[in-house]
Chain A
Amino acid sequence: MTGFHRGGILAPFVLLGWIYALILAHSPNVAGQAGPVFWAFVSALWLAAAVALNGLSNLRLKTPGARRFLGLCIPILFGAFLFFLWEVIVVGAGVPSVLMPAPSAIGSRFAASLPVLLEDFLQTFVKSVLSGYMIGCLSGFLVAIVADRIPFLRRGLLPLGNFVAALPVIGIAPIMVMWFGFDWPSKAAVVVVMTFFPMLVNTVAGLAAAGRLERDLMRSYAAGYWTTLFKLRLPVALPFIFNALKINSTLALIGAIVAEFFGTPIVGMGFRISIEVARMSLDMVWAEIALAAIAGSLFYGLVALVERGATFWHPSYRT
């Protein structure tokens, strides 16, 4: 019960302390010139938060629901603590915003420039990332099926695919910009090339994952190549395919953003980042990065959710 006492009882006080420190840091006679008393208070809060988190994570709860709730609470509290430190240090010590803007400044900038952000999101995410991601993943998948049908091709392509996966593929961005122009097709092309090889390698590995016993069973049912593919081997390959889809969801966003560093029309997340960095308005850059982070995690989460629905039978999801 000591864990509960320390964690459960301390946590609300720590939260109250955070709010008080935030108000204090933003009050005009502290902001930018915080004294040693203020920093001592923040350090004490740090210690208290550590003790509270420690107590919480050593809690042993009986019901699985409560356990899951706690498993969600601890990282959220930890993250909130990091943001709190960031805010208090930047505001309290008066760090100039060209070096490091406070989270609150980034948030207000985000809210103030929603139309611009939406435009960039449409350009980079909806046009470049989504179209490139779909073409890249689909073509990787189809080539993997063809390679599976022709073993000679598979033995030639797979080592090459593994080799290309380790290369800095992002370097083709300037070439694609030259070939397909400044607008989104060149970014989509970079995304296609970046997502193609992970999909190819993973699908080929997944298609080889069906066990010999199961394949023998299919043969004893007199199932042909395509029946075996659709009824046995593709379902078995699904975890591998979804793994590639998840890897690619991050790669695609990185590819599109970095490709925009090489030249774009005057819209797009990568363009905005490079232009605002040059103008030293870092709060806008951070707002753009927050947008990229939100889009990236939502995209990944969506793929993971679909995976959960499609491979509900897989051992890793059985409880």
Chain B
Amino acid sequence: MTTEAVSLPTRPVARKASRLRGGNAGPVLVVVLAIVAIWYAAAILMNWRGTIDAFSRAGEQRSATEILFATMEQERPILPAPHQVLTELKKTTLDMPVTSRRSLPFHAWVTLSSTLLGFGLGTLLGSVLAVLIVHVKTLERSLMPWIISSQTIPILAIAPIIIVVLGSIGITGLFPKAIISAYLCFFPITISMVKGLTSPDPMQRDLMRTYSASLAQSFWKLRLPASMPYLFTGLKVAIAISLVGAIVGELPTGAQAGLGARLLAGSYYGQTIQIWAALFGAAILASVLVAAIGLLERLLNKTMGARSP
């Protein structure tokens, strides 16, 4: 195994990859456990002072061990201990009706719906732009540099404007947030899709020409299937920042519902446990969304008969 050329057959590579993944479970577990341990230690250290103050305000004298345990049971700790966050997550998901305003799934659903709407809009816009750019040379030379250089601009700063401007002409609620998501996520989709649509090499395109395939035929039969792996890489990035867009979109209006509103309310009222719970909710949502895209990719690969990468 001196060169990469040897590893052409797919089966041994796949087996090797799965063995590697199995081998990673142990180290990942150890690192996660280490993070949890550091977290507990940090929680004790950071809350120590506040706990002592609370006790002295109540006029009680406590021993060091009692203080130690009390640091992990504070109502508004500087850093909540992991089990406090888990309890809050359980309390706000399982112990409350989904329709309640204090239920986390309720807020997650508000954010998720605008994320998905924005993601849909962004995917549509991004792929249409990509198809246009690949087929119209003028657009490639005039629009593409702007799309690339717009990546260097902190686009998220525009979010408040979109919310307020759309709000002032009477559009509120889901749609403005979805616009921000769509605006954020169409860039990676366009870039990766253009890359994918131009990925077939000249030999393959020449073959299509010798079949006298029309432009549409070579698009549907060659370019589009070839672009799928690139598209899905872009989609995974896009859905993640689409969620970020939806969360940030909930900030400027001081929104009434959604994970971003939960973060903002938590920071106003010093409810640290609520902030951490919302943060974990957002993290779980993000990983579920990315995993869903991965699943979709695998399904599509199977139906299109592609080799698993």
Partner-B contacts on A (CB < 8 A):
50, 53-54, 57-58, 71, 74-75, 77-79, 98-100, 152-160, 163, 165-168, 170-175, 177-179, 212-213, 249-250, 253-254, 257-258, 261-263, 269-270, 273-274, 277, 280, 282, 285-286, 288-289, 292-293, 296-297, 299-301
Contact at B165–A153, with CB atoms within 8 Å? no
Chain B residue at smallest Cβ distance from A298: B152
Partner-A contacts on B (CB < 8 A):
2-3, 23-24, 26-32, 78, 137-138, 140-146, 149, 151-158, 160-161, 164-165, 168-169, 236, 240, 243-244, 247-248, 251-252, 259-260, 263-264, 266-267, 270, 272, 275-276, 278-279, 282-283, 286-287, 290
A86 to B250, CA, bound (A): 28
Chain B positions within 8 Å of A289 at CB level: 157-158, 161
> A245 CB to closest chain B CB, in angstroms?
12
Contact at B156–A160, with CB atoms within 8 Å? no
Chain A residue at smallest Cβ distance from B165: A99
> B38 CB to closest chain A CB, in angstroms?
13
Q: Which 5 A-B pairs have the closest CB atoms?
A: A156-B27, A174-B267, A156-B31, A78-B142, A300-B152
> B179 CB to closest chain A CB, in angstroms?
14
Contact at A167–B31, with CB atoms within 8 Å? no
Chain B residue at smallest Cβ distance from A270: B157
Contact of A160 among B31, B138, B144 (CB under 8 A): B31
How many residue pairs link A and B with beta carbons under 8 A? The number is 164
Contact at A296–B263, with CB atoms within 8 Å? no
Chain B positions within 8 Å of A263 at CB level: 267
Contact at A277–B161, with CB atoms within 8 Å? yes
Chain B positions within 8 Å of A163 at CB level: 287
Chain B positions within 8 Å of A159 at CB level: 24, 28
> B120 CB to closest chain A CB, in angstroms?
19
Chain B positions within 8 Å of A54 at CB level: 138
> B172 CB to closest chain A CB, in angstroms?
15
> A45 CB to closest chain B CB, in angstroms?
16
Contact at B282–A167, with CB atoms within 8 Å? yes
Contact of B153 among A75, A168, A292 (CB under 8 A): A292
Q: A156-B24, A170-B248 are in contact. Are A57 and B138 (CB under 8 A)?
A: yes
A209 to B168, CA, bound (A): 52
A260 to B296, CA, bound (A): 37
A171 to B240, CA, bound (A): 13
Contact at A166–B240, with CB atoms within 8 Å? yes
Chain A positions within 8 Å of B279 at CB level: 171-172, 175
> A153 CB to closest chain B CB, in angstroms?
7
Chain A positions within 8 Å of B32 at CB level: 156, 160
Contact at B146–A79, with CB atoms within 8 Å? yes
> B250 CB to closest chain A CB, in angstroms?
11
Contact of B275 among A71, A74, A174 (CB under 8 A): A174
Contact at B143–A78, with CB atoms within 8 Å? yes
Chain B residue at smallest Cβ distance from A304: B152
A101 to B134, CA, bound (A): 33
Chain B residue at smallest Cβ distance from A96: B168
> B2 CB to closest chain A CB, in angstroms?
6
Contact at B154–A254, with CB atoms within 8 Å? yes
> A144 CB to closest chain B CB, in angstroms?
14
Contact at A167–B2, with CB atoms within 8 Å? no
> B144 CB to closest chain A CB, in angstroms?
8
A280 to B138, CA, bound (A): 38
Chain B positions within 8 Å of A179 at CB level: 78
Q: A75-B145, A168-B247 are in contact. Are A175 and B275 (CB under 8 A)?
A: yes
Contact at B141–A75, with CB atoms within 8 Å? yes
A156 to B153, CA, bound (A): 33
A280 to B163, CA, bound (A): 12
